[in-house]
Copies of this chain bind each other. A is one copy, B any other.
């Protein structure tokens, strides 16, 4: 059956592109969680095993759709391990290190697309919440009722850093050494994750 399908789609690149296109539509329409490899395969008219063969897991497929060379969640693994009192600093350092590398080019392209296109924005939100936040919450033990707003606040500072340092090249932030950025912004992320935020814990503000 795969052989026959391969016969109709001779190029491996064509097949990959067809799967990515079907996956982009599925993720954008249903979100990451509700999308299955089986649905994507059906939409692309290929066998599910072929999707797994080309892309690996659903997570890998999602990264391929976003054209990200690395899994942002994997970059966070080291940052969320270790002393919780320094996790903000380590997260900002991991982020700046990644963006100062070629990974940043892919990140910039994704962020530019996301702010201008609602479909990509939906995929971006799924990346942040489904892929990154879910892992942060699990690893850091954030209370589930506080985690969404704390995560969004962290995202606001990190996205703002990406926007001003990289997309808009606002000096002196754009040229500041990584450790200057880490020292200034790390405590913000730390407070958003663990600080006493009445607005987050539901107390009267």
A121 at the interface (CB under 8 A from B): yes
A179 (CB) vs chain B CBs: closest residue: B205
Q: Annotate A163-185 by CB proximity to B: 1 below 8 A, 0 otherwise.
A: 11101111111001001110111
CA distance A183 to B171 in the complex (A): 28
In A60-114, the 8 Å CB interface with B consists of 111-112, 114
Partner of A159, one of B124, B164, B192, B205: B164
Q: Annotate A184-205 by CB proximity to B: 1 below 8 A, 0 otherwise.
A: 1101100110000111100001
In A29-50, the 8 Å CB interface with B consists of none
A22 at the interface (CB under 8 A from B): no
Could you say which residues of chain B place their CB within 8 Å of the CB of A163? Answer: 111, 115, 156, 159-160, 163
CA distance A194 to B188 in the complex (A): 14
Question: Is there an interface contact between B157 and A156, defined as CB atoms closer than 8 Å?
Answer: yes
A116 at the interface (CB under 8 A from B): yes
A108 (CB) vs chain B CBs: closest residue: B115
Partner of A183, one of B169, B176, B197: B197
Interface size class of A (residues with CB under 8 A): 35 or more
Centre residue among A176, A183, A187, A188 by max chain B CB count within 10 A: A188
A161 at the interface (CB under 8 A from B): yes
Question: Is there an interface contact between A158 and B160, defined as CB atoms closer than 8 Å?
Answer: yes
Q: Pick out which of these stretches binds chain B: A3-11, A12-20, A147-155.
A: A147-155
Could you say which residues of chain B place their CB within 8 Å of the CB of A199? Answer: 176, 179-181, 183-184
Question: Is there an interface contact between B170 and A155, defined as CB atoms closer than 8 Å?
Answer: yes
Interface residues of chain A, those whose CB is within 8 Å of chain B, are 111-112, 114-116, 121, 124-125, 128-129, 148-149, 152-153, 155-161, 163-165, 167-173, 176, 179-181, 183-185, 187-188, 191-192, 197-200, 205
Apart from A111-B115, A157-B157: 4 A-B pairs, beta carbons within 8 A: A156-B185, A160-B160, A163-B163, A187-B191
